[in-house]
Amino acid sequence: MANAKVIQAKQDAVDVVTGKLKNSVSTVVADYRGLNVSQVTELRKQLREAGVDFQVLKNTLVRRATAAAELTELDAVLTGPTAVAFSETDAVVAAKILNDFAKKNEALKLKGGVVEGRVIDADQLKALAELPSREGLLSMLLSVLQAPMRNFALAVKAVADKEEQSA
Q: Is the pTM of this model over 0.85?
A: no
pLDDT digits (tens, 9 = 90+) for 31-43: 988 888 999 999 9
Domain total of the chain: 2
Which of the residue ranges 56-60, 99-103, 143-147 would you say has the lowest mean pLDDT?
143-147
Label the pairing between strands 83-87 and 26-31.
antiparallel
Measured between alpha carbons, how far is 121 from 119 in angstroms, rounded to an integer? 7
Residues 111 and 126 in one domain: yes
Label the pairing between strands 118-121 and 109-115.
antiparallel
Summary mean pLDDT of the chain: 85
Residues 95 and 159 in one domain: no
Residues 62 and 104 in one domain: yes
- pLDDT at position 45 is 93
Residues 106 and 144 in one domain: no
- pLDDT at position 46 is 92
> What average pLDDT does the segment 71-99 reach?
87
Residues 153 and 125 in one domain: no
Q: Which domain holds residue 138?
A: 133-166
Residues 10 and 92 in one domain: yes
